[in-house]
Structure 1
Amino acid sequence: MDSAVSDAAVGVPPLAEPDEAPQPWQTDRTRAPVATKIVVAGGFGVGKTTLVTAVSEITPLQTEALMTEASEGTDDLTDTPDKTTTTVAMDYGRITLDDDLVLYVFGTPGQQRFWFMWDDLVRGAIGAVVLADTRRLKDCFPALDYFESCGLPYIVAVNHFEGSEQFDPEDVREALSIPAHIPVMIMDARRRISAIETLLALVAHALEETPEE
């Protein structure tokens, strides 16, 4: 199915073209947009940059650096042999889901040596998407532990890679010992509609987890 057709069928806004008219909230000073920050985390090479790139309506900010021999023995490329770059600070993208509802999406670096940046990246976020790869589920445990410890709402999104075995969400939930109230979903970080569905699932979960005043 054509991606533009599938996106329109479920009401997903198309990617903005460079010469497209700005959003109403960008020109009308009386309208303040509802801005929501979301974090995408997970292990090395799990698809965080891909998800942010797929979903962003603007040219995403990326801090990709070429991998060198210095990372040998530190970054495991067994399951991602074609990977030549890695995020060293963050990824950033934006998507407008309504006239004045804006999601700002921040992707975290995956390697342990960059975890010290997570505290700054998650500040002000309503929740996080923890990406997982079923070939190396253990790589997402640090992210799960981090969000559990800081109390930030999160969901688990299994990024299905070609050639890997596909599992049911409940099998993944059991393998990761994810509580029943936390959504676990299967997605494809390369597909915009799949990435947006994942972000919407997080927003819905975060709203459910927010205590009523």
Structure 2
Amino acid sequence: MASESVNPSPRPVSAKIVVSGGFGVGKTTFVEAVSEIPPLRTEAKMTTAASEFDDNSLVKSKTDTTVAMDFGKITVEQGLVLYVFGTPGQDRFGFMWGDITEGALGALILVDTRRLADCFAAINYFEERNIPFVIGLNQFEGAPLHQESDIREALDLPANIPIVRTDARVEDNATETLIHLLAHILDTLSQQTSVPPPAPPEPPPAPTREAPVISNDLRARAANALAAERSI
């Protein structure tokens, strides 16, 4: 019996996504919500010394802090896998951001509207490196619901940066936020590829050779020499 040929399944396409933001904005919670595998967490108990670096007065229930990164995985659709990395929120661990964000296609910057200034460092970081990002307004109890235009003005964001309201605790909500980020990444990439490359510089014009100027005297001498040669 002839063996049936089986087409191997294509290897899934993977992409690296970063979840960033200030201290205590819900990065670890977000990664946990979207990950289809038990997420890797690198948290440590907060100490009294940590209060010198971060103000947890608005997130008093937070007793742990990420000291390296969070990691999770989500299959958005068949053939597309996202590896999600969360950055540490404390400034003293900022030296790790370079390794965590290397090779990332885009970033989600989570924002607590009660502490807008805490996300400035993340915005500056991704803007300087031309990494596409989306702002995610995480829902906190008691946090004011500002208009998107007010948030955009306060963060000094251009009109092309999406602002999405999200809840890092809810899987469907968090996953939808990642979909918004993917759409923004694709839009950014399409704009970059649609810009035609600059035209090469025009080559310098070839030097023109002017016909030699022959004086009448020279013409006469040449004619006499030619006549003398023929008479020999």
Normalised by the shorter chain, which TM-score bucket? 0.7 to 0.9
- SS of 2:19 mapped into structure 1: strand
TM-score (norm 1): 0.84
Shift of 1:201: 0.7
**Which among 188, 195, 213 is matched to residue 174 of structure 2?**
195
Q: How big is the shift at 1:29?
A: 5.9
How far does residue 95 in structure 1 lie from its aligned partner after superposition? 0.6
Amino acid in the other structure paired with 1:120: D
8 Å CA contact 1:170–1:184 kept in 2: the answer is no
Corresponding residue for 2:156? 177
Q: C-alpha displacement at 1:73, in angstroms? A: 2.2
Once the two structures are superposed, residues 182-205 of structure 1 have per-residue CA deviations (whole angstroms, 9 ceiling, x without a partner) of: 101111110111111111111111
User: Are 1:113 and 2:89 matched, yes or no?
Assistant: no
Q: What is the match of residue 109 of structure 2?
A: 130
Question: Which whole-Å CA distance do the structure 2 matches of 1:48 and 1:69 have between them?
Answer: 22
What is the rounded CA distance, in whole Å, between the counterparts of 1:192 and 1:168 in structure 2? 24
Aligned Cα root-mean-square deviation (Å) = 1.3
Q: How is 1:55-66 mapped onto 2 (pairs within 5 angstroms)?
A: 55-66=34-45
Rg comparison, structure with higher value? 2
- Aligned counterpart, 1:78: 57
Count of residues paired in the alignment: 186
* 3-state SS of paired residue (1:186): strand
2:228 corresponds in structure 1 to none
Matched, 1:46 2:20: no
Equivalent residue, structure 2, for 1:159: 138
| Aligned partner of residue 97 in structure 1, secondary structure | strand
Q: Where does residue 126 of structure 2 map in the other structure?
A: 147
Matching residue's letter, 2:29: T
Runs of 4+ residues deviating >4 angstroms: none
Q: With CA pairs under 8 Å and 6+ residues apart, which has the higher RCO, 1 or 2?
A: 1
Mapped partners of 1:42, 1:64: distance in 2: 16
Give distance in 1, aligned partners of 2:59 and 2:107. Answer: 24
Offset at residue 175 of structure 1 (A)? 1.0
Q: Which amino acid aligns with 1:124?
A: G
- Distance change in 2, residues 1:125/1:29 (3 Å): farther
Task: Tell me how far 1:72 sits from its aligned partner.
Answer: 2.3
In 1: Cα distance, 2:103 partner to 2:159 partner: 25
Contact 2:23–2:118 (8 Å) recurs in 1: yes
Q: Would you say the 8 A contact 2:39–2:71 is kept in 1? A: yes
Could you tell me how far apart the structure 1 residues matched to 2:119 and 2:31 are? 18
Please state if 1:32 is matched with 2:14: no
Unaligned runs of 5+ in 1: 1-27
- Where in structure 2 are there 5+ consecutive unaligned residues? 1-6, 195-232
* Shift in Å, 1:30: 4.4
The worse-fitting range, judged by mean Cα deviation, of 163-172 and 106-115 is 163-172
Q: CA deviation at 1:169?
A: 2.1
Residue by residue over 1:17-65, the C-alpha shift from the partner in whole angstroms, topping out at 9 and shown as x without a partner, is: xxxxxxxxxxx96421110110000000000000000000000000010
Whether the 8 Å contact between 1:153 and 1:206 is mirrored in structure 2 is yes
> For 1:212, what is the secondary structure of its paired residue?
helix
Report the TM-score, using the length of structure 2 for normalisation.
Answer: 0.78
Instruction: Give the share of equivalent positions with the same residue, in percent.
Output: 54
